[in-house]
Amino acid sequence: MTTRKEKIASDLDRQFAELGFAEQGVEALRAGADVSLRTLYKYFPSREAMVVGALEYRDRTYFDWLAGGPDSGVEHVLHPIVRLGDWLREVANTGCLFLNALADHPDSAAIREVVIDHKARLADEFRRRLRTIAPDKDIERLAETLFLLHEGMTQTARLHGRERATAAALRAARAALAAEGIA
Amino acid sequence: MTTRKEKIASDLDRQFAELGFAEQGVEALRAGADVSLRTLYKYFPSREAMVVGALEYRDRTYFDWLAGGPDSGVEHVLHPIVRLGDWLREVANTGCLFLNALADHPDSAAIREVVIDHKARLADEFRRRLRTIAPDKDIERLAETLFLLHEGMTQTARLHGRERATAAALRAARAALAAEGIA
DNA sequence: GCGACGGTAGAGCGATCATTCTACCTTCCT
DNA sequence: AGGAAGGTAGAATGATCGCTCTACCGTCGC
């Protein structure tokens, strides 16, 4: 079931991703979501709430999108990085939506919180997957490395292109796994 | 010799780094640089020019700052990553100034250009250093990987802390070098 | 039929922004 | 001394912003 709020949040997310945060006023967001200003403010009572709503929407859909793929082995661990490559192909390549939001609203505690939550969830995803292939090892350092590669890939894709960034991230990830004696 | 314009550019850079781009109006920039509005506009005739001026200033100083350190071996190659750790300690930890500028002004061709130039120069720095330790190898893939780690480290430092991000980047860089049979 | 309800359109408000302009001051060359 | 050059302070301007408000409309149940 898609609620009306969910539909609007999806439109907001798409607009922020395509056009950035700074250059997108509330009136433009309203037009893009095809609702009246009053209705928009009913569900998101301030511009900041619209940004938070869009980020929360993307947080939800991103982890759904991550599901599937190989369910064991090294490929299972590397799947979020491969999948990020697909994501970067589908959406406009303007870097990480969460970090862009942070850059545009450095003083908003609510936005900072949702960004940190999303990134923490992503780091946990890597830990969870690593434990499936190395249950008796300390995988914390590897999890940090994979997270770093994931972040770097998003930013690098803007400058070096998606394919080269993905390949570099995967190469480095495999080397890091090998260096720790995994796979 | 420090020109007046250079001094103002340095003040702009500091202010953008500490407080971000979005929340810093021209009047605040003027106060921070301790000049009159007219003088500020004389050297930087628009707000966009102020952003470009600050980025160009940082581009210049960053490569000066990078000089020094070990002048051969793997440590020479990894020096930009180590040095980035120092940089992240000195300045406010708000991510990469260049990518933040891009996030805040997605439609400005001038800003996009200076960002891309800076990042290309950084990638070249890694290529140059790699050639000193592996003159007869194809180091392009390694250069891409080191660049990716550098970018990822900046972003990860905001969330995982500077030390852990630096350590993860260095570990992954050494593993990548080893995987390619270097060092 | 009709009133309540939940929606729309869009004008209006106050604040803030980038930019320009006026008026004055200091410094230094001749 | 005098005047040009180049600085200052800060008010004025016009545009834009986030947000609120008024007025109106279609669709229900009864």
CB–CB of B77/B130 below 8 Å? yes
Cα-Cα end-to-end distance for chain A: 42
Residue A2 lies in a domain: no
Q: CA torsion sign, A54 to A56 to A61 to A67?
A: positive
Q: State which residues form the domain around A102.
A: 47-179
| A69 SS3 class | coil
CB–CB of A110/A54 below 8 Å? no
Q: Is some CB atom of chain B closer than 8 A to the CB atom of A168?
A: yes
At which residue do the structure tokens 């997310």 appear? A13
| A33 SS3 class | helix
On the question of pLDDT at A59 being above 80, the answer is yes
Q: Which residues contact B153 (CB under 8 A, 6 or more apart)?
A: A148, A152, B81, B84, B85, B165, B166, B168, B169
Residue A132 lies in a domain: yes
Give the best residue of B48, B140, B151, B174 to mutate against chain A (max A CB count within 10 A).
B151
Residue A11 lies in a domain: no
CA pair distance B91, B59, nearest whole angstrom: 15
Structure confidence at residue A93 (pLDDT): 73
On the question of pLDDT at A92 being above 70, the answer is no
Q: Is some CB atom of chain A closer than 8 A to the CB atom of B126?
A: no
How many independent structural domains does chain A possess? 1
CB–CB of A154/A97 below 8 Å? no
CA pair distance A104, A17, nearest whole angstrom: 13
Residue A20 lies in a domain: no
Nearest-by-Cβ selection for B104 from A22, A159, A171: A22
CATH code at position A121: 1.10.357.10
CB–CB of B104 and A102 under 8 A? no
On the question of pLDDT at B6 being above 70, the answer is yes
CA pair distance A111, A103, nearest whole angstrom: 10
Residue A77 lies in a domain: yes
Structure confidence at residue B16 (pLDDT): 93
Q: Which residues contact B13 (CB under 8 A, 6 or more apart)?
A: B54, B55, B57, B58, B61, B97
Beta strands in B138-183 (DSSP E): none
CB–CB of A89/A162 below 8 Å? yes
Nearest-by-Cβ selection for B22 from A22, A96, A175: A22
Q: Which of A34-38, A84-88, B81-85 has the highest mean pLDDT?
A: B81-85
pLDDT, one tens digit per residue, over A137-168 is: 889 999 999 999 999 999 899 888 899 999 99
Residue A26 lies in a domain: no
CA dist list (Å): B118 to A30, B8, B115, B123: 37, 20, 5, 9
Residue A17 lies in a domain: no
Q: Is some CB atom of chain A closer than 8 A to the CB atom of B133?
A: no
CA pair distance A135, A125, nearest whole angstrom: 15
pLDDT, one tens digit per residue, over B36-71 is: 888 899 899 999 999 999 999 999 999 999 988 898
CB–CB of B178/A175 below 8 Å? yes
Residue A79's pLDDT band (boundaries 50, 70, 90)?
very high
